[in-house]
Structure 1
Amino acid sequence: MDEIITPETCDYTSCYCEENVWKLCEFVRTERTARLEELFVVFISNGNRTVPLWKQKSGRGDQPVIWDYHVVLLQIRLHSSSLVYDLDSELSFPCTLKLYAAQALRSDHNIKPAYHRKLRVVPADSFLLNFASDRSHMKNSDGSWRMPPPPYPPIRTTESQMNLEDFISMSPAVGWGRVFSLDHFLQRHMGDSSSSSSSSSAAASSSP
């Protein structure tokens, strides 16, 4: 999959990361560039909607960008490194989960609890089947767009026109998939979280 998909082949609209990933999953399903069961959509957020990520294109130097939420695609491969697809990252597309953890996620150990990350991991087939957004979260009170929307129609299902909040929420009681702390996520998918912890100490002074 990583040899076939490039940023240029992806549908991309700035500030609509959830839809960018949905379209990427749809491309994989249509073109069969990978086994869909290898793919997982990862929502990164917390109860405060303040999550730092490094190596983002909208960042400045080594300062993190504070998102209310962010969405990436994770490809778990049995016989080689897992890969992360993040169209908003300065890192390679894709990059290994190990590199993404060390450079983009880093660690919660040196930042204030209000900025600690949680991750909702949703199988790609479930995301394609259940996700819906009418993009109302991107409109101002007067109905104008905060950021221009994608050119294609809003994504909806027969059951819903808008359930984005169920994916952004980090409450295990709602939504699809499983919710992890950052440490638990890295321990599950990398075996340990030390690779991210060590790299964050150098950036502690610039962390939230």
Structure 2
Amino acid sequence: MARPETAYEAAVPPRPACTYTSCYCEENVWKLCDYIRSQDRYPLEEFYAVFISNDRRMIPLWKQKSGHGDEPVVWDYHVILLHVSGGEQNFIYDLDTVLSFPCPFDMYSVEAFRLDDSLRPEFHRKIRMIRADLYLKTFASDRSHMKDANGKWQKPPPPYPCIETAAGNGGCSHHRLFLPLLRERSLSPAPV
């Protein structure tokens, strides 16, 4: 599908119109993927759910809504959406950033990721990319990771039902999606 290089057209509505629940980034990205699939405007195969974490589950990201000034937010993990657009620029969709939405990949990399070389080793990030069509088919979450030891919500859950695969709850839980990422010993940069 050839598109003119003049202006990138966002694959999803403006940020305020997107389905969003704070601290449920993996579900927010699933909802973005589902919207893109329903619109049939861009090939779904151009999009990737990008899981970011590390062995210690401490990854710094800058330019986050939860941040203060130029200080990073240290998440246990974060999930963003990457559009490999086939044009000169790729784009990141992150509903938790204060950067533009979508944000050019180059800008997001510099502003939100910064370089691992400037971080202490325990903060080096590992990345797992899952093609959006596969993410929609295999991701499921019962949200149990968001409950404390007493079964109380750490953060209020989304208002919609838990995400399940078409076959019921036989899909990949968010924890199983992380296992390959956390077993790796070095950062695997996104092939963009």
Pairwise same-fold verdict (TM > 0.5): yes
Equivalent residues of 1:43, 1:71 under 8 A apart: yes
Asked if the contact 2:48–2:81 (Cα under 8 Å) also holds between the matched residues in 1, the reply is yes
Specify the code of the residue in structure 2 equivalent to 1:23: K
Structure 2 runs not aligned, ≥5 long: 1-8
Report if aligned partners of 2:11, 2:36 keep a CA contact under 8 Å in 1.
no
Task: Tell me which residue corresponds to 1:133.
Answer: 141
Shift of 1:30: 0.8
Aligned residues: 181
Query: What does residue range 190-205 of structure 1 map to in structure 2 within 5 Å?
Result: none
Matched-pair identity in %? 46
Write out the 4+ residue segments of structure 1 that deviate beyond 3 Å after TM superposition. none
Change in CA separation of 1:4 and 1:18 when aligned onto 2, cut-off 3 Å: closer
Q: What's the C-alpha RMSD, in Å, of the aligned pairs?
A: 1.9
Match of 1:73 in 2: 81
Matched, 1:99 2:107: yes
1:9 Cα deviation from its structure 2 partner: 2.1
TM-score (norm 2): 0.88
Aligned equivalent of 2:176, options 146, 166, 176: 166
SS at match of 1:47: coil
Q: Which amino acid aligns with 1:103?
A: E
TM-score by length of 1: 0.81
User: Which residue is equivalent to 2:14?
Assistant: 6
**Structure 1 residue 4, shift from structure 2 partner:** 5.0
With over 3 angstroms needed to count, the CA separation of the structure-2 counterparts of 1:89 and 1:40, relative to structure 1, is: same
CA-to-aligned-CA distance 1:38-73 (integer Å, 9 cap, x gap) = 100100001110000000010011000000000000
- How far has the Cα of 1:34 moved from its partner? 1.8
Please, which of 163, 176, 187 is the counterpart of residue 181 of structure 1? 187
**Residues of 2 paired with 1:161 and 1:76: CA distance?**
25
| Conserved? CA contact 2:126–2:182, under 8 Å | no
2:187 equivalent to 1:153:
no
Q: Is 1:121 the equivalent of 2:129? A: yes
